Amino acid sequence: MFPTQRIAPTLSGRAQVTATSLVCVLALLLGSAAQAEPAPDLFPFEVSYGASMEKGLSLNGSAKRILTSQGNDVWLYRTEVKSFIADLDESLILKWEDGQVVPLRYRYRLSGFLIKDRKQSIDFDWKTGLATGNYRGKSFEVELQDGILDPLGFQIQLHQDILNGKRGMEYLVLDRGKIDSERFAVVTDETTHSDGSQSSLLKAEKVRENSKRETLMWFDPGNEYVLVRLLQVEPDGSKYELKLKSIDLGG
């Protein structure tokens, strides 16, 4: 996974790849999420972000994530990223059961005038215990495990686990026909605002081994642990960043 027509500048092949990476990264970790009590129910929301990238050139865009109830504990979660170079649209239909995300149908599409379209689909059949999907035109079939999630479902689960007081999380995520483990650690961080005031934010880090890539996320405990900032620093020093623009909770 624009309103204003613009004249496209000429970008090198390297810059095109970098700009495409921006769209992918901005959508990757748009999950947000305190109390050690029974798992809270999901609630609908719509959150918008400003997006930026710095790597020899600056590119700006926007990101939005929306969670809406479909009734009977079925939810639709969508992530949309729009930039000068490409658009990304991801969606997940999920079942919320006993404080856990149960993915049912995942769709992903990345498109743009300087890149090749990329698509992925995953359908979860919990009765047969199989997930079937397609990535870049190639089909795959994976045996399901208890608790397995998709690239969007783990974001919702991360939010709910943080909201429920957890501070160390690990998820099995099915993506591109493979199952990988995603780990996160949480610490408290202090942020100083432009007016000199301070607020306590919760900072989560994606745990990686033998990697210089760094992904940090800041959540607001005073606002339902909404993700207010995401920063990813690549090994070469380039940065991708999200910053909160607007929020509508429980709509």
Q: Which helix (H) or strand (E) holds 134?
A: strand 130-135
Is residue 237 over pLDDT 90?
A: no
Q: pLDDT at position 236, please?
A: 87
**112: confidence class by pLDDT, cuts 50, 70, 90:** confident
Q: pLDDT at position 109, please?
A: 95
- For the chain, what percent of residues have pLDDT higher than 90? 54
Q: pLDDT at position 1, please?
A: 38
Are 42 and 96 spatial neighbours (Cβ–Cβ below 8 Å)?
yes
Which pLDDT tens digit goes with each residue over 60-88? 889 999 999 999 999 999 999 888 778 89
Residue 7, classed as helix, strand or coil, is: coil
Between 139 and 240, the higher pLDDT residue: 139
Angstrom distance (rounded) from CA 98 to CA 193: 38
Question: Average pLDDT of 89-108?
Answer: 97
Look up residue 128 and give its two tokens. Answer: 């047969």
Q: Which helix (H) or strand (E) holds 228?
A: strand 226-233
Is residue 20 over pLDDT 80?
A: no
Q: pLDDT at position 32, please?
A: 37
HSE-up (13 A, CA, CB side) for residue 126? 11
Mean per-residue pLDDT of the chain = 82
Between 200 and 13, the higher pLDDT residue: 200
**2: confidence class by pLDDT, cuts 50, 70, 90:** very low
